[in-house]
Structure 1
Amino acid sequence: MVDTMALLPPFGRASRTTRTVEHRAVGLPTDDEVLLDAPDDLLGPALVAAGRGAYEAAAELLATTRHRALWESRDGYALRLAAFARSRPEWLEAWHAADPQDPDVLLVRAQLAVDHAWGSPARAELLRGVSPLITAAARADDRDPVPWRIALDHARGARAGHTYFGELWEAALRRAPLHYGCHVAALRYLASSWHGSHRECLDFADRAAQDAPADSLVQALPARAVLAYLNDGCGPGVPPERLAAAADRAIALSARFPAADLWPAAIRNKLTYVLVRLGRWEDALEQLRLIGPYATSYPWSRFSEDPLGRFLEVRDEVRLRTAGVHAPSGRTGHPQGGHAGRVHSGDH
């Protein structure tokens, strides 16, 4: 059963000093210790250098991921660097001017172009002009699956047909059969093209997870499909036991990573949201312990202008629920907190 009780309102929460003690008591960091979208030890210096207009650190970082075939890291770094370039493009422009054929600068430029088009009312028209950038990034290194993930996102935004999507999907799988980013992009395309037929989306996610090793990020794909289902009004056709099984699969994956590890933080944040919506408070508390200080904008940014604040409110709610304290009756809601439907620009 999906929980629909409200988050505790601000006036109903304990004082900051009291919360600090209570958080410590259940193994959670204090509010002040929680970071939003913290970069890792490799990305951080690259962003600092880019802030000064220097691109060399970013170029070295992405080149390393390409040479070592670290595709998941490469995908995440490309997304973060492109997001940074939206407001500070000088370093990216200098990089492209210095080496216009560099596969890594081509990748970031393709991602940036898709991000820019996505937020525009003229999305479809703008995306048509982005295709050459994605093609250039894909041709620059034929092994790299990340341009194909960008192409799958592009296909969804451009409302491409299933035949074309299928060709892109097969090309992505040939390069990296277990690349999580491509699987998420495919899931989003299917959810969009099937107009909310969440049973079919969950079927796709379950098949992919069943074919993947137990330690693959693809094991989190069914929970990602459940998140989409829960945020789409919980339409008909998905039995509760399937929702629970998807969450259980993601819990098992989360348990394979160390606690307070930055790498699985994004998956754990999404899983926590799903568990809260399913009313699985003890399981949600355990994921919050594993998250430690690493909050991520998504999924909280979909429903609030203050994703960190929303994350902290959800933590309070989970802690109080597991202690037997309930929100005041007569209020409706869930982690959306009254901002349902808001889409963060980086979460397309």
Structure 2
Amino acid sequence: MVDTMALPLPFGRASRPTRTIEHPAVGLPADAEVLLDAPDDRLGPALVAAGQGAYEVAAELLAATRLKAQWERRDGYALRLAAFARSRPEWLEAWCAAAPHDPDALLVRAQLAVDRAWQSPARAELLRGVSPLITAAARADDRDPVPWRIALDHARGSRAGHTYFGELWEAALRRAPLHYGCHVAALRYLASSWHGSHRECLDFADRAAQDAPADSLVQALPTRAVLAYLNDGCGPGVPPERLATAADRAIALSARFPAADLWPAAVRNKLTYVLVRLGRWEDALEQLRLIGPYATSFPWIRFSDDPLGRFLEVRDEVRQQTASAPPRSESAGHPRSGRAGRVHSGDH
């Protein structure tokens, strides 16, 4: 989840000293053209209206995703709207007052409550008080898997046991067996419960990907497990070929989407980080070409308070490595040494 920037609109170019680096030779946009967490053409107007205190555009957007069962889009929009409401809650408060039983208002309200509780040292205790809001959102539309994704995140933060989490997981799967957000939530729970047991987390992700269609976002789940492994100081138990196979799955998924497409930008940003850590510079450069101008805060915010600046630095490093080294480094598949970065609330 991306923290809201302290600007009226929670997207755009981050402020920093002007850079003049251009990348025409490798097909990358200039630094000044790169955006952080840009919204798509459906979310953008909703955020603009919310910045003006109006909720109606957001209500129409989420209602459309629910009616059309666009659960992945709905999940992403709910996360972004809740992130905006953390610093600008007036529009959401007005929405909840005007339509207290609206499934879409209840969804954003539940997400916002989890986000706020997550920031506190008393997280587990505060999250327990959020349960009624999540229950209300789930009951408002029984088809919707997104409240169950919120419930899975809530269960992890409140240190729920495996039995209870398993019940939530089964309920989520009944509603949308391929919902990527729920799979990511389950992977995070397993990672926190099996700390250091990255083989088991990768097993879970691999099984899910093997059962999913080739164009499903679940194909990127093993790369999420690899990212967690790399950021946990690696550790024993995961052969390099498994890391490479996970990256290859995500590369194949990325190739199914157009270049410079907002929809797979989050997957491509995480994949680029993993490829860099694996020393696969040519593959990383190709993902950067596909990313185009669309940087995402995660994973770069784990290593810098300026995620866009960090993204641009990594992009420069990839360009330099591919310009000076033979293609397809022999070190591919072997992660570079390094300590895990800071864990931010933006990806809880």
Residue of structure 2 equivalent to 1:237: 237
- Superposition pairs for residues 193-272 of structure 1, below 5 Å? 193-272=193-272
Does the CA contact (< 8 Å) of 1:310 and 1:335 recur in 2? no
Distance in 1 separating the partners of 2:166 and 2:344: 27
Residue of structure 2 equivalent to 1:155: 155
Does the CA contact (< 8 Å) of 1:276 and 1:335 recur in 2? no
Q: Residue 258 of structure 2 aligns to a residue in which SS?
A: coil
AA paired with 2:202? L
Q: Deviations over 1:201-220 (max 9, x none)?
A: 00000000000000000000
Matched, 1:74 2:74: yes
Does the CA contact (< 8 Å) of 1:183 and 1:221 recur in 2? yes
- Superposition pairs for residues 29-68 of structure 1, below 5 Å? 29-68=29-68
Q: Residue 346 of structure 1 aligns to a residue in which SS?
A: helix
Q: Residue 110 of structure 1 aligns to a residue in which SS?
A: helix
Distance in 2 separating the partners of 1:335 and 1:220: 23
Does the CA contact (< 8 Å) of 1:209 and 1:221 recur in 2? yes
Q: Residue 129 of structure 2 aligns to a residue in which SS?
A: helix
Distance in 2 separating the partners of 1:251 and 1:92: 38
AA paired with 1:297? S
AA paired with 1:197? S
Distance in 2 separating the partners of 1:222 and 1:128: 30
Distance in 1 separating the partners of 2:210 and 2:88: 42
Q: Deviations over 1:278-303 (max 9, x none)?
A: 00000000000000000000000011
AA paired with 1:299? P
Distance in 2 separating the partners of 1:211 and 1:126: 36
AA paired with 1:171? A
Residue of structure 2 equivalent to 1:112: 112
Does the CA contact (< 8 Å) of 1:209 and 1:222 recur in 2? yes
AA paired with 2:184? V
**TM-score of the superposition, structure 1-length normalised?**
0.91
AA paired with 1:137? A
- Superposition pairs for residues 312-331 of structure 1, below 5 Å? 312-324=312-324
Per-residue deviation at 1:36? 0.2
AA paired with 1:245? T
Distance in 2 separating the partners of 1:344 and 1:229: 17
Q: Residue 346 of structure 2 aligns to a residue in which SS?
A: coil
Per-residue deviation at 1:344? 2.5
Q: Deviations over 1:20-39 (max 9, x none)?
A: 1xx11100000000000000
Does the CA contact (< 8 Å) of 1:198 and 1:225 recur in 2? yes
Q: Residue 270 of structure 2 aligns to a residue in which SS?
A: helix
AA paired with 1:167? E
Residue of structure 2 equivalent to 1:174: 174
Name structure 1 gaps, 5 residues minimum. 1-14, 327-332
Per-residue deviation at 1:334? 7.1
AA paired with 2:313? E
AA paired with 1:345? S
Distance in 1 separating the partners of 2:108 and 2:194: 30
Per-residue deviation at 1:195? 1.5
| RMSD after superposition | 1.6
Does the CA contact (< 8 Å) of 1:219 and 1:250 recur in 2? yes
Residue of structure 1 equivalent to 2:310: 310
Distance in 1 separating the partners of 2:91 and 2:125: 27
Question: Aligned pairs, how many?
Answer: 323
Residue of structure 2 equivalent to 1:284: 284
User: What is the percent sequence identity of the aligned residues?
Assistant: 89
Distance in 2 separating the partners of 1:33 and 1:335: 32
Q: Deviations over 1:217-260 (max 9, x none)?
A: 00000001000000000010000000000000000000000000
Does the CA contact (< 8 Å) of 1:196 and 1:232 recur in 2? yes
- Superposition pairs for residues 337-348 of structure 1, below 5 Å? 340-348=340-348
Q: Residue 142 of structure 1 aligns to a residue in which SS?
A: coil
Q: Residue 130 of structure 2 aligns to a residue in which SS?
A: helix
Does the CA contact (< 8 Å) of 1:273 and 1:335 recur in 2? no
Per-residue deviation at 1:342? 1.8
